[in-house]
Structure 1
Amino acid sequence: MTMVLCIGHPERSPVLPLHPGARYYAAPSPVGTPGGDGTRGRPWDLATALAGGRGGSMVQPGDTIWLLGGVYPGRFDGTLTGTSAAPIVVRQYPGERATIDGNLHVHGAHTVYWGFEITQSNPVPNANDALETYGPDCKFINLVVHDAGKQGMSFWEDEGTSELYGSIFYNNGTHENFDHGVYAASEGGEKWIVDNIVFDNLAYGIHVYVGSRHPFLSNVHVRGNTAFNTGAISRDGFQNANLLIGGDVRTEHMSADSNLLYFPGTTGRNLRLGMPRGDNRDILVRGNYVAGGAVTLLMNGWAQAEVVDNEFIGAGTIVDLTARGGSIVAHAWHGNTYVRDPGARAWRYEGAAYELATWQKITGLGNTGATGTTPMTPRVFVRPNKYEPGRATIIVYNWGHQPTVSADVSSAIHAGTRYELRNVQALLGPPVLSGTYGGGAIEIPMAGVDPPRPVGRTGPTPALARTGPVFDVFILNRTK
């Protein structure tokens, strides 16, 4: 029997223009020009559009800028500023592929960047972040960001509430141990990193961190993301974490909730929470499904932590826990599942290894959860996209190595809808499945695909192995 979980996000509802204003258009040069009027027939170039149109004041709150298909080379600055009631939307035109080949720096507030691609065809000399953001109260939705010379995204806003949602990050970074899929810091305001797919990045997948030059790190919420095979393009292989939350400073009001993480063996630190030098105050760790790695959960020095309803699966260390000041009295652990022999010395506390029962006694945590047997049936997660009806991410842990796996997608599309299903590692390839949805479950082929090769590297890149049939991620889209 296949277990399918359909998870929504009640804590956030889409806030987009209810009554959109004017529509403008941008196109690559020479079709798009600074002298255009922003119409479909006379579009702006991208730099002009992101500055507010000719004269810098044509684009107003509630307006939409459609990016027509083609490649936009260069470094672009987004200074557009909407309002909380009427954000400006910059979005790829339906049915077309708009690609920034270079960098996008966002400084304006209350603007939504939606659905286009950012990459660097020559990442080594570029050596910059693909997307760097400073504007408060912005949203970054369903982007595809890959092959950057540095970070895929640096998420810097320090006020307001900003969101990174439904985006795909892969093959980012050229500087060993420094470049990540998503780098996020916060010294004010609130950040939500939700339902993104992050894989095959150089150093860390999602890296929520600041160094000692910053005063504190707070209010970053990492929810429902899928991160896998971080370090696949590194000469050192899988060594860092798919998800890190923790800085070298005061770190508080953080959460890791419902994330889905995967390493194929016993290398890599899968879920890493807290840095040794950090003043780690409080964190919620809830509902994560973490499979593989040298350690599935590395948890360092939190004063207060709630660790509940997670599932940790692996053949290495299951939990590696250290206390802050020798005390974890403000920790609450319950409802977790450990898929590991309870007699194995796979639970660590303050550097020493124990079997589960002794670890629970030594730590004073009591009954933190139950052990489970090695899964043989698939575990399938269906995550409907909250901004694009008819779109969903499907994550499959195919423990029994079945050739096909059933997934009920009725939470994402209705019977009679035409759809296509693509492997996230071959977004531009043919669909692995398509047709008219008849209701209930679809049967997903699990043979896998070859991962996308990094572009523009100067040195040798490690061979990249398929994740299928054991694990794969798919994007479901309804079609006309």
Structure 2
Amino acid sequence: MRLLNISIVVVVLLLGNALLVPASGRQFFVAVNGHPNNPGTFTQPWALDTAFRMPASRLTGGDTVWIRGGKYSGTFILDADGTVSKPLVYQAYPGERVVLDSYTGLNNNVKTLEVVGNYVWLVGIEIENSSPTRISNASGINTATDLHQSIGMEIYGNSTRIINCKIHDTPGVGVGYWSTALDAEIYGCFIYNTGFSALDRGHGPGIYTQNGDAAKPKAVRNSFLFNGFSTGIQFYSSATANKLKGLIIDSTTIFNSGALTRPTQARRKNFVAGAETSGRTNATPGVTRVSALYLTDNVLYRDTADNINQQYWKYWDFRENTELGYQDETLSDSFVIFTRNHLYGDPLPMLLHQWDSGVFKHNFLYSYKPNNDGVRNVIELATGATPFPNWDSNTYRTNEPAYNSPFNNLTFTKWKDSFNIDQHSNFVNGPFTEQYAFVRRNKYSRNTYYITVMNYAQLDSMLINHNFSEHNGMQFSLYDVQRSLYVPLSKGLYNGTSFKLPMKLTEVAPTLGITPMPPKHTSAALGTFVLSFYPSITTVKTGAWNDPTTWNVGRVPTSEDDVVLQHAVTISGLAWCRSLNSNQQQVTTQSGAHLLISNTGQ
């Protein structure tokens, strides 16, 4: 037994790197200076590659592998497995920044991290590529050997969870999210600055995804995808595959896809689902058709002022924000649910292809600028396409009163009557000054909220009237997603009033390599924020730190908690807190115990 020197373990708390899993199962450790032959303890950690490839006899479901901070250079394959009831968790050590960087200086196509294990959770990891350029003088992706192409992460494992991770500045696809990864989830992630520019166009979607079973859809939830060189999310496969069955995009904000590519090249879509069909029809056995596609509560934003060559606006392949369906008209897609989505278009919010059935309700579509032919459609139909019957209760807006036929070149009345849809919907053609705020709580880090604001009045700031009353008296930090996820815009003590968010922000995080167009902050029309609170937790008796009954909230402190001691405590294993006010109470540690104090206030 010994008294702990409280000042010896003090680090910076990083956003999205809070303690997710209680220390209930076995705990192992990885460090940059770890060794394959080490036992994986705190003082004798494993190497990262060793932990990722550990056999089931040594590492299994229910175990947690803590990855200590630092940069891990190279490429990695995670092929260990958890179980259905007990996932195997790899998590960044609380308060420490874990970065995987695959840049080797070679002109080749590499994958920073391949996740092939099943029932694996990966939490709080950052993936990047520090190569110096994102510009190729080749004419396509297969001939672009004059730069270091690198995919950030490829996911193959069943029921994987990628949680609160950051994937950015990868000269290639950010996340390859493939058909075998059934019932998988990307949650709370930030995917940005992905891809590269070749002479033909920008390449490298933020997420390129497929799925092989409509009954086991994969999901992207409560995340941000932005900038980059190509499409935000691409649900796509070849005409000979059958891998477009089951995808959920929920509560996710996608904006300015393609903004970093050459200024003479067109933007890309924020979301597209479909593929080339190569002459196949609905009767073709094994045909690839999109089915079980669900998009709910998303914000998809395109800002013309950021980077666009207007000559491309008249082409379907480049002008729309969102495209639902195939890129040719030889067959129809199967089933889609598209509800409560907010589309800010430039100039076209949506292009719709033919679907057998679906639901299109409670959406908001806004077209704010005509293309160079003077057309200002809110929605357009591909050849042979018609809206499906369950289509109603939507809101459509333009601000061009002189153009009154924005529904596939039909008036709103003609649109409704022609297809017998939108009988309870609303269309307004004129000035638009409303505001919308979407506040989404992080289910894995319950004191953190992701906030997207649509500020059509271009106000300098906006009040968010969400009920944060349970966080009264807590410390908080507010971050601008586009500026920094490590340095807050503001911080302080929350007193229960409405949050005032600054909207006219200009500073952005720089790219790691040279890009044709530098990243630009969105206008005041769009704000993207993360708000984190830090609870205060107090002892109610003398006892063990890891005993929930020692604390007033009935749980053990995490790295998000500000701890106040009113009694003596004993630490027998791993322990975390954000800050510690010991009040001169005795803190005793047993041999091998460790306490992390993340007391910078970030």
> What is the TM-score normalised by the length of structure 2?
0.71
Distance 1:411 1:156 in 2: 38
Greater Cα offset, 121-130 or 59-68 = 121-130
Mapping 1:266-415, distance limit 5 Å: 268-277=319-328, 279-315=332-368, 316-322=376-382, 324=384, 328=387, 330-340=388-398, 344-349=403-408, 353-365=409-421, 367=423, 369-372=425-428, 374-411=431-468, 414-415=471-472
Distance 1:211 1:20 in 2: 45
AA aligned to 1:161 is: D
AA aligned to 1:426 is: R
The one of 254, 257, 275 aligned to 1:247 = 275
Give the structure 2 partner of residue 39 of structure 1: 41
Distance 1:435 1:449 in 2: 22
Partner-residue secondary structure (3-state), 1:161: coil
The structure-2 alpha-carbon separation of the partners of 1:180 and 1:412, relative to structure 1 and needing over 3 Å to count, comes to: farther
* Offset of residue 212 of structure 1: 1.2
Partner-residue secondary structure (3-state), 1:362: helix
* Offset of residue 363 of structure 1: 3.3
1:231–1:237 CA contact under 8 A, matched in 2: no
Partner-residue secondary structure (3-state), 1:118: strand
* Offset of residue 146 of structure 1: 0.3
The Cα offsets for residues 10-54 of structure 1, whole Å up to 9 and x where unpaired, read as xxxxxx9788311111111xx2111221111111111001112xx
* Offset of residue 345 of structure 1: 4.6
2:210–2:243 CA contact under 8 A, matched in 1: no
The structure-2 alpha-carbon separation of the partners of 1:203 and 1:413, relative to structure 1 and needing over 3 Å to count, comes to: farther
For the pair 1:181 / 2:220, whether they are aligned, the reply is: no
Mapping 1:433-472, distance limit 5 Å: 433-457=490-514, 461-472=516-527
Distance 2:407 2:437 in 1: 30
Distance 1:413 1:168 in 2: 26
Distance 1:159 1:201 in 2: 24
Give the structure 2 partner of residue 20 of structure 1: 24
* Offset of residue 247 of structure 1: 3.1
Give the structure 2 partner of residue 88 of structure 1: 88
Distance 2:202 2:325 in 1: 17
* Offset of residue 318 of structure 1: 0.5
Partner-residue secondary structure (3-state), 2:418: helix
Distance 1:413 1:430 in 2: 25
Greater Cα offset, 116-125 or 285-294 = 116-125
2:212–2:242 CA contact under 8 A, matched in 1: yes
Aligned residues: 454
Distance 1:247 1:368 in 2: 33
The Cα offsets for residues 80-105 of structure 1, whole Å up to 9 and x where unpaired, read as 20011100111111111000012010
> What is the TM-score normalised by the length of structure 1?
0.89
The structure-2 alpha-carbon separation of the partners of 1:159 and 1:234, relative to structure 1 and needing over 3 Å to count, comes to: closer
Q: Please tell me the root mean square deviation across aligned C-alpha atoms, in Å.
A: 2.3
AA aligned to 1:21 is: G
2:482–2:521 CA contact under 8 A, matched in 1: no
Partner-residue secondary structure (3-state), 2:482: helix
Percent identity of equivalent pairs:
25
* Offset of residue 392 of structure 1: 0.9
2:182–2:212 CA contact under 8 A, matched in 1: no
Greater Cα offset, 199-208 or 258-267 = 258-267
Partner-residue secondary structure (3-state), 1:96: coil
Distance 2:532 2:405 in 1: 41
**Structure ranking higher in strand proportion:** 1
For the pair 1:110 / 2:168, whether they are aligned, the reply is: no
Distance 1:360 1:132 in 2: 44
The one of 179, 191, 194 aligned to 1:169 = 191
Greater Cα offset, 268-277 or 360-369 = 360-369
AA aligned to 2:98 is: A
AA aligned to 1:24 is: F
Partner-residue secondary structure (3-state), 1:358: helix
Give the structure 2 partner of residue 13 of structure 1: none
The structure-2 alpha-carbon separation of the partners of 1:77 and 1:364, relative to structure 1 and needing over 3 Å to count, comes to: same
Distance 1:464 1:202 in 2: 11
Greater radius of gyration (CA): 2
The Cα offsets for residues 174-199 of structure 1, whole Å up to 9 and x where unpaired, read as 15343100111012231111111000
The structure-2 alpha-carbon separation of the partners of 1:345 and 1:246, relative to structure 1 and needing over 3 Å to count, comes to: farther
The Cα offsets for residues 349-374 of structure 1, whole Å up to 9 and x where unpaired, read as 4xxx2222222233343526101454
